[in-house]
Amino acid sequence: MSRIKAAYALPLAAAGLSACSEAVEQERPNIIFIMTDDHTTQAMSCYGGNLIETPNMDRIADEGMRFDNCYATNALSGPSRACILTGKFSHKNGFTDNASTFDGSQLTFPKVMRENGYATGVVGKWHLISKPQGFDHWSILLGQNEQGNYFKPVFYENGTVVKEDGYVTDVITDKAIEFIDDVHDEKPFMLMLHHKAPHRNWMPAPRHLGIFNDTVFPEPETLFDDYEGRGEAARSQDMNIENTLEDEWDLKLLTREEILAGNNRLHDVYIRMPEEVQHKWDSVYAPRIAEYRSGKLQGDELVRWKYQQYMRDYLATAMSVDESIGRVMEYLEEIGELDNTVIVYTSDQGFFLGEHGWFDKRFMYEECLRMPFVIRYPKMIKAGSTSKAICMNVDFGPTFLDLAGIEVPSEMQGRSFRKVLEKKGRIPAGWREAAYYHYYEYPAEHSVKRHYGIRTSDCKLIHFYNDIDQWEMYDMTADPQEMRNVYDDPAYAGKRAQMHRILEQVQQEYEDTDPCEKELILFKGDRRLFDRGESSTTK
Ligand code: SGN
Ligand code: CA
pLDDT category, 321, cuts 50, 70, 90? very high
3-state secondary structure of 138: strand
Give the Cα separation of 145 and 362 in Å (integer): 18
Nearest atom of ligand 1 to the alpha carbon of 249: 14
Ligand 1 pocket, CB under 6 A: 37-38, 76-77, 98, 127, 147, 199-201, 249, 360, 445-446
The residue whose CA is least distant from atom 4 of ligand 1 is 360
The residue whose CA is least distant from atom 13 of ligand 1 is 200
Region 192-213 average pLDDT: 98
Nearest ligand to the C-alpha of residue 127?
A: 1
Give the Cα separation of 111 and 281 in Å (integer): 43
The answer to whether residues 377 and 444 belong to one domain is no
The residue whose CA is least distant from atom 15 of ligand 1 is 200
Give the Cα separation of 504 and 513 in Å (integer): 8
Nearest atom of ligand 1 to the alpha carbon of 360: 10
Give the Cα separation of 368 and 234 in Å (integer): 14
Nearest atom of ligand 1 to the alpha carbon of 359: 9
Give the Cα separation of 34 and 323 in Å (integer): 12
pLDDT category, 497, cuts 50, 70, 90? very high
Distance 200 CA to ligand 1 centre (A): 6
* Residue 525 pLDDT exceeds 50: no
The residue whose CA is least distant from atom 18 of ligand 1 is 77
Helix 77-86 with 396-403: angle, nearest 10 deg: 40
Q: Which residues fall within 8 angstroms of residue 245, CB to CB, at 6 or more apart?
A: 251, 306, 310, 359
Nearest atom of ligand 1 to the alpha carbon of 76: 20
Max CA separation in the chain (angstroms):
79
The answer to whether residues 235 and 377 belong to one domain is yes
The answer to whether residues 442 and 431 belong to one domain is no
pLDDT category, 520, cuts 50, 70, 90? low
* Residue 243 pLDDT exceeds 50: yes
Distance 77 CA to ligand 1 centre (A): 9
* Residue-level pLDDT at 518: 63
In sequence order, what E strands does 169-275 have? 189-194
Q: What percent of the chain has pLDDT over 90?
A: 88
13 in a domain, yes or no? no
- Average pLDDT along the chain: 92
User: Could you read off the pLDDT of 328-341 as tens digits, one per residue?
Assistant: 999 999 999 999 99
Global pTM reads 0.93
The answer to whether residues 77 and 111 belong to one domain is yes
The answer to whether residues 265 and 388 belong to one domain is yes
Q: What is the CATH number of the domain that holds 488?
A: 3.30.1120.10
The residue whose CA is least distant from atom 2 of ligand 1 is 200
Using the 3D structure, point to which of 435, 455, 478 is the last residue of a domain: 435
Nearest atom of ligand 1 to the alpha carbon of 246: 14
Nearest ligand to the C-alpha of residue 351?
A: 2
Altogether, the residues listed in the chain come to a count of 539
Nearest ligand to the C-alpha of residue 195?
A: 2
Using the 3D structure, point to which of 435, 453, 477 is the last residue of a domain: 435
Distance 153 CA to ligand 1 centre (A): 17
Nearest ligand to the C-alpha of residue 36?
A: 2
Region 508-532 average pLDDT: 64
Choose the residue to mutate in 147, 239, 347, 439 for probing ligand 1, maximizing ligand atoms within 8 Å of C-beta. 147
Distance 334 CA to ligand 2 centre (A): 32
* Residue 280 pLDDT exceeds 90: yes
The answer to whether residues 36 and 92 belong to one domain is yes
Distance 523 CA to ligand 1 centre (A): 12
346 in a domain, yes or no? yes
**Which amino acid is present at 320?**
S
* Residue-level pLDDT at 27: 82
CA atoms within 13 A on the CB side of 129: 17
The answer to whether residues 418 and 528 belong to one domain is no
Give the Cα separation of 41 and 25 in Å (integer): 37
Contact 462, 472 (CB under 8 A): yes
The residue whose CA is least distant from atom 20 of ligand 1 is 77
Q: What is the CATH number of the domain that holds 208?
A: 3.40.720.10
Q: What percent of the chain has pLDDT over 70?
A: 91
User: Could you read off the pLDDT of 440-485 as tens digits, one per residue?
Assistant: 999 999 999 999 999 999 999 999 998 899 999 999 999 999 999 9
11 in a domain, yes or no? no
Distance 259 CA to ligand 2 centre (A): 27
Percent of the chain that is helix, strand, coil (3-state, to 5): 30, 15, 50
Give the Cα separation of 99 and 526 in Å (integer): 9
Nearest atom of ligand 1 to the alpha carbon of 361: 10
* Residue-level pLDDT at 362: 98
User: Could you read off the pLDDT of 338-378 as tens digits, one per residue?
Assistant: 999 999 999 999 999 999 999 999 999 999 999 999 999 99
**Domain limits for position 375:** 29-435
5 in a domain, yes or no? no
Nearest atom of ligand 1 to the alpha carbon of 147: 19
Distance 349 CA to ligand 2 centre (A): 6
pLDDT category, 26, cuts 50, 70, 90? low
Distance 76 CA to ligand 2 centre (A): 5
* Residue 538 pLDDT exceeds 90: no
Give the Cα separation of 405 and 402 in Å (integer): 5
Number of domains in the chain: 2
Give the Cα separation of 23 and 13 in Å (integer): 10
Give the Cα separation of 344 and 520 in Å (integer): 33
The answer to whether residues 233 and 324 belong to one domain is yes
Q: Rg (Cα) of the chain, in Å, rounded?
A: 23
Give the Cα separation of 506 and 463 in Å (integer): 14
43 in a domain, yes or no? yes
* Residue-level pLDDT at 146: 83
Region 216-224 average pLDDT: 98
Give the Cα separation of 254 and 252 in Å (integer): 6
* Residue 514 pLDDT exceeds 60: yes
The residue whose CA is least distant from atom 19 of ligand 1 is 77
Contact 269, 247 (CB under 8 A): no
Of residues 169 and 262, which shows the higher confidence score? 169
The answer to whether residues 230 and 283 belong to one domain is yes
The answer to whether residues 224 and 132 belong to one domain is yes
Nearest ligand to the C-alpha of residue 37?
A: 2
Nearest ligand to the C-alpha of residue 79?
A: 1
pLDDT category, 519, cuts 50, 70, 90? low
Region 84-102 average pLDDT: 95
The answer to whether residues 383 and 457 belong to one domain is no
Q: Sheet of 536-538: strands edge to edge?
A: 385-387, 65-67, 373-376, 341-347, 30-36, 189-194, 119-124, 137-142, 154-157, 160-163, 536-538
Distance 362 CA to ligand 2 centre (A): 9
- Residues lying with their CB under 5 A of ligand 2, a single-atom ion: 37-38, 77, 348
Region 12-19 average pLDDT: 39
User: Could you read off the pLDDT of 285-314 as tens digits, one per residue?
Assistant: 999 999 999 999 999 999 999 999 999 999
Distance 112 CA to ligand 2 centre (A): 25
Of 381, 471, 466, 378, nearest in space to 97 by CA: 466
The answer to whether residues 73 and 184 belong to one domain is yes
Phi, psi of 357 (to 5 degrees): 80, 15
442 in a domain, yes or no? yes
* Residue 272 pLDDT exceeds 90: yes
User: Could you read off the pLDDT of 101-133 as tens digits, one per residue?
Assistant: 999 999 999 999 999 999 999 999 999 999 999
16 in a domain, yes or no? no
Using the 3D structure, point to which of 419, 435, 451 is the last residue of a domain: 435
249 in a domain, yes or no? yes
pLDDT category, 504, cuts 50, 70, 90? very high
The residue whose CA is least distant from atom 17 of ligand 1 is 77
Give the Cα separation of 66 and 153 in Å (integer): 32
* Residue 431 pLDDT exceeds 70: yes
* Residue 530 pLDDT exceeds 50: no
pLDDT category, 4, cuts 50, 70, 90? very low
Of residues 525 and 472, which shows the higher confidence score? 472
* Residue 533 pLDDT exceeds 50: no
In sequence order, what E strands does 302-390 have? 341-347, 373-376, 385-387
